[in-house]
Amino acid sequence: MVFVRKAEERDREVILTITKAVGVFTSEDVACVDELLETYLHKPDQQEYYFLVACDEPDQVRGYTAYGPTPLTDGTYDMYWLAVTPEAQGRGLAKLLFLRAEEELVSAGARLIVLETSGTSEYAPARAMYERLGYEGRIAVPDFYRTGDDLVIFHKHLRKHGLGQ
């Protein structure tokens, strides 16, 4: 069985290991994830970053997601990172992580989720998954990350609890 829980200190190393293992992230990306983890784990009362992990029983971390409120917006949240270890891909863990994050965000009163990704072919499977999960993607800036690597921003409006839609 797979389950999702909030990340804890003991997950730090495996989260970074998974980020490296995925193969699409640069060392700068890994450093950025580590910086967010530092805030999430050690800054008291912080409300910037949240981490969830997806685990196989009894408690083996296979993937994670990080999200938080987008600065200067009202009710918009960013999905900052999502990664599933290569051996566990294709089993729906990314979807589980997203659905749990969306649940948490609906409870927190979130209105909109956005996520930034790359337009390269390496990221095509990720983009296809975001679409299946109901996100709409737009090419926001051509050649953003580097020449030939566009910034694609996906967004999804959250439904309020109890509205029945």
Residues that bind a copy of itself (CB under 8 A): 26, 28-29, 32, 70-76, 111-112, 114, 138-147, 151, 153, 155, 157
Nearer to a copy of itself, 9 or 131 (CB): 131
Of 76 and 89, nearer to a copy of itself (C-beta) is 76
The tally of CA atoms less than 13 A away on the side-chain side of residue 10 is: 5
CB of 73 to a copy of itself, least distance (A): 5
**Helical (H) or strand (E) element with 7:** none
Least distance to a copy of itself, CB of residue 142, Å: 7
Q: How far is the CB of 120 from a copy of itself (least distance, A)?
A: 13
| Smallest distance from a copy of itself to CB 158, Å | 11
* Helix segments in the chain, DSSP class H: 12-21, 27-42, 93-107, 124-132
φ, ψ (nearest 5 deg) of residue 9: -50, -45
Q: In the complex with a copy of itself, which residue's Cβ is closer, 2 or 32?
A: 32
DSSP 65: E
- 99 versus 141: smaller Cβ distance to a copy of itself: 141
Identify which of residues 90 and 134 has a Cβ nearer to a copy of itself in the complex: 134
Residue 71: CB minimum distance to a copy of itself, A: 7
CA distance 71 to 56: 34
2-6 β-sheet, strand order? 2-6, 50-56, 60-69, 76-84, 112-118, 149-157, 136-146
**C-alpha–C-alpha distance, residues 69 and 77, integer Å:** 4
